């Protein structure tokens, strides 16, 4: 397939990629390079667009420029009925019309995201991977813990400080019971 634009033949193998890309970008506003119809398929255009016809369900653009689904045998008679009085439509037909035009309701858009469990699981997975890496580094890479950080060492150091303060009439040594080796009540 070749695209003739300004007497340049754009082919997939003969022209460098950057040149093909520049030519195709400059030709986008012409009808021979219009992919809009292929992209939207048989869906009906129902409103203006800002830069291209595509369906987006969002709260900041509540009315997309085209319908969510293409018309088929189920919806065509209801669309004909829609052109008349809406009082003749049943609630199920109105819901069907809505579901063919929009993917989700406003309540579904504003409600909880259906993927919250997946996000929570991914978060827990990454936290567990991080904790596993820390554990492996602590076990294999870091040197053993300094003995001064152990509880026995801290207790012995505190006892030494208290013994040195014992002759003083006030201070922490007055609150410590040296016979039972614990703090006084």
CATH code, domain with 86: 1.10.442.10
Residue 34 has pLDDT above 90, yes or no: no
Q: What is the pLDDT of residue 43?
A: 80
Identify whether 169 is part of a domain. yes
* Domain-embedded: residue 45: no
Nearby residues of 30 by Cβ (< 8 Å), 6 or more positions away = 5
Does residue 27 form part of some domain? Answer: yes
Whether residue 124 lies inside any domain: the answer is yes
Predicted local distance difference test score (pLDDT) of residue 123: 98
Question: Is 44 inside any structural domain?
Answer: no
Query: What total of structural domains would you count in the chain?
Result: 4
Domain hosting residue 23, numbered range: 3-34
Note whether residue 131 is domain-resident: yes
Do 103 and 132 fall into the same domain? no
Residue 29 pLDDT greater than 60, yes or no: no
DSSP state of 146: P
| Residue 129 sits in the same domain as residue 156 | no
39 within some domain: no
Q: pTM (2 decimals)?
A: 0.46
Quick one: 19 and 66 in the same domain?
no
pLDDT in tens, 103-153: 888 888 888 877 889 999 999 999 999 999 999 999 999 888 889 999 999
Identify the bridge partners of residue 45 per DSSP, sorted by sequence position: 66
Q: Do 106 and 63 belong to one domain?
A: yes
Measured CA angle at 64 (ends 109, 81), to 5 deg: 100
């Amino acid at each position: 397939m070749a695209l003739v634009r300004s007497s340049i033949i754009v082919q997939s193998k003969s022209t460098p990629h950057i040149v093909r890309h520049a030519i195709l970008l400059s030709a986008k506003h012409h009808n021979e390079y219009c992919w809009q119809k292929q992209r939207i398929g048989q869906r009906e255009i129902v409103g203006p667009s800002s830069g291209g016809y595509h369906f987006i369900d969002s709260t900041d653009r509540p009315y997309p420029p085209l319908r969510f689904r293409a018309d088929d045998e189920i919806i065509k008679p209801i669309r004909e009925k829609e052109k008349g009085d809406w009082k003749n439509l049943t609630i199920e037909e109105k819901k069907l019309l809505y579901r063919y035009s929009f993917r989700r309701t406003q309540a579904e858009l504003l409600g909880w995201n259906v993927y919250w469990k997946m996000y929570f699981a991914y978060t827990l997975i990454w936290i567990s991977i991080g904790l596993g890496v820390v554990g492996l580094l602590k076990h294999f890479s870091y040197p053993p813990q300094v003995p001064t950080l152990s509880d026995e060492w801290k207790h012995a150091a505190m006892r030494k400080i208290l013994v040195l303060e014992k002759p003083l009439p006030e201070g922490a040594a007055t609150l410590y019971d040296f016979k039972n080796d614990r703090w006084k009540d």
